[in-house]
């Protein structure tokens, strides 16, 4: 009996050895699992007029800032090429000098540009020439709507950032400054009405804090400091969209406890007059994680009173301004601004910021 058990064990061991030997060549011949294909870069179209394209050096600043933050999987696209700017960047764009957005819409020009470039995100600063040509806010916003419809026909999940355009004060157009304000006042509401979950349309404030005297060379086109301000305003909104496109990329909040939400606020008096002034507050995300909202408590000197706020919501009882629906989300290092009118004897205030983690 003992010998029979020994024989059975020996035969079993031999079968295992032969099985392993037989599996060897098959395993060696098996094709390796295919490597996961790299994701396509996110294609971003800068769209507009000469402020975007001639030369539109804010694009080079924005490109390099995104690269430095780790957003290397992007491709700026457009049928027009770069025009210098003195630093390496992806200069493709759709900034057509002299173009009116109302003409681009009525002449059906955008579909061809979209077909040639297939963007996922459009960054649009458009309407300056329309304002100069005394086109009404209604006609400009209708043109915006036509362009967004055409974008969605190209890509149903298109993301759109649309600027409240920079101020303008050319010597040949005394009414242009007022017309820009009239247009910009309506852009956030239009954006909210046009936005969907799959295809968000987000207003980005390029107007507040931009000076035609110090940030342009002719009352219209940005100089070096103007380019810096434009890039600074686009960056947090665009970085946030890129984070949504690529979860886990720069700006992702990661595991709980990896970082804390924090912000800082700075105040400046943009202009003043007897008994009042216009103030501007810039909110910056100073933490290591994105924030979904912020609030700023403003304490005016000499018992002053805030009478008007834009790009934020005022709680008059506490003197606290909370973010608007379109400017609360800030990537780490990103910023947003709001303005206010105050009735006060002196143009000074202290500001304290509180952030809400995303």
CATH number at residue 275: 2.60.40.290
Looking at the fold, whether 306 and 184 belong to one and the same domain comes out as no
Q: What is the mean pLDDT of residues 278-299?
A: 89
Q: Are 298 and 354 in contact (CB under 8 A)?
A: no
Structure confidence at residue 259 (pLDDT): 63
184 falls within a domain: yes
12 falls within a domain: no
Query: Which of 19-28, 103-112, 185-194, 312-321 is predicted with the least confidence, judged by mean pLDDT?
Result: 19-28
Structure confidence at residue 3 (pLDDT): 43
Looking at the fold, whether 161 and 303 belong to one and the same domain comes out as no
Looking at the fold, whether 109 and 225 belong to one and the same domain comes out as yes
Query: Which of 91-95, 173-177, 267-271, 293-297 is predicted with the least confidence, judged by mean pLDDT?
Result: 267-271
* DSSP letter (8 states) at residue 303: G
Q: How confident is the model at residue 87 (pLDDT cuts 50, 70, 90)?
A: confident
Average pLDDT, the chain: 85
Query: Which of 27-36, 63-72, 98-107, 214-223 is predicted with the least confidence, judged by mean pLDDT?
Result: 27-36
Boundary residue ending a domain (215, 245, 275): 245
Domain total in the chain: 2
Q: What is the mean pLDDT of residues 286-315?
A: 89
Looking at the fold, whether 240 and 273 belong to one and the same domain comes out as no
Structure confidence at residue 25 (pLDDT): 41
Helices (H) and strands (E) in the chain, counts: 9, 14
* Residue appearing with tokens 């001639």: 54
CATH of the domain at 82: 3.40.50.1110
**How many other C-beta atoms are found inside a 10 Å radius of the C-beta of residue 194?**
18
Tokens read off for 48: 């507009």
239 falls within a domain: yes
CA distances to 296, 342, 343 from 267, in Å = 11, 13, 16
Looking at the fold, whether 72 and 160 belong to one and the same domain comes out as yes
Looking at the fold, whether 160 and 275 belong to one and the same domain comes out as no
Does pLDDT of 214 surpass 90? yes
Looking at the fold, whether 193 and 276 belong to one and the same domain comes out as no
Looking at the fold, whether 324 and 190 belong to one and the same domain comes out as no
Query: Which of 40-49, 63-72, 212-221, 326-335 is predicted with the least confidence, judged by mean pLDDT?
Result: 326-335
Q: What is the mean pLDDT of residues 169-193?
A: 93
Looking at the fold, whether 229 and 142 belong to one and the same domain comes out as yes
- Residues 112 and 117: their CA atoms lie apart, in Å, by 9
Looking at the fold, whether 73 and 127 belong to one and the same domain comes out as yes
Looking at the fold, whether 219 and 338 belong to one and the same domain comes out as no
Q: Which domain holds residue 123?
A: 42-245
16 falls within a domain: no
Q: Which of 154, 157, 150, 96 is nearest to 128 (CA)?
A: 96
**What predicted TM-score, i.e. pTM, was given to this entire model?**
0.65
Looking at the fold, whether 128 and 158 belong to one and the same domain comes out as yes
């Amino acid at each position: 009996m003992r010998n029979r058990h020994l024989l059975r064990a020996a035969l079993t061991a031999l079968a295992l050895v032969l099985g392993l030997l037989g599996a060897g060549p098959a395993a060696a011949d098996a094709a390796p699992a295919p490597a996961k294909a790299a994701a396509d870069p996110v294609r971003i179209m800068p769209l507009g007029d000469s402020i975007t394209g001639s030369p539109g050096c804010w694009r080079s600043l924005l490109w390099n800032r995104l690269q430095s933050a780790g957003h290397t999987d992007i491709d700026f696209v457009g049928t027009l090429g770069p025009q210098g700017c003195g630093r390496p960047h992806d200069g493709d764009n759709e900034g057509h000098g002299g173009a009116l957005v109302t003409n681009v819409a009525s002449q059906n020009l955008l579909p061809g540009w979209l077909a040639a470039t297939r963007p996922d995100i459009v960054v649009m600063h458009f309407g300056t020439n329309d304002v100069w040509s005394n086109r009404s806010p209604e006609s400009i916003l209708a043109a915006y709507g036509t362009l967004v419809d055409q974008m969605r026909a190209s890509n149903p999940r298109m993301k759109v950032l649309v600027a409240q355009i920079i101020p303008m004060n050319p010597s040949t157009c005394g009414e242009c400054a007022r017309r820009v304000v009239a247009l910009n006042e309506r852009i956030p509401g239009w954006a909210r009405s046009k936005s969907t979950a799959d295809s968000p349309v987000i207003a980005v404030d390029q107007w507040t804090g931009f000076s035609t005297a110090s940030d342009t060379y002719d009352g219209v086109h940005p100089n070096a400091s103007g380019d810096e301000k434009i890039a600074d305003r686009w960056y947090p909104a665009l970085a946030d969209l890129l984070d949504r496109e690529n979860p886990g990329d720069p700006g992702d909040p990661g595991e709980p406890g990896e970082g804390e939400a924090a912000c800082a606020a700075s105040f400046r008096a943009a202009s003043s007059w007897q008994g009042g002034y216009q103030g501007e507050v810039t909110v910056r995300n100073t933490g290591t994680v994105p924030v979904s909202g912020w609030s700023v408590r403003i304490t005016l000197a000499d018992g002053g009173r805030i009478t008007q706020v834009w790009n934020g919501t005022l709680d008059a009882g506490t003197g606290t301004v909370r973010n608007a629906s379109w400017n609360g989300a800030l990537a780490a290092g990103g910023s947003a601004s709001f303005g206010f009118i105050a009735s006060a004897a002196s143009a000074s205030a202290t500001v304290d910021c509180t952030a809400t983690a995303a």
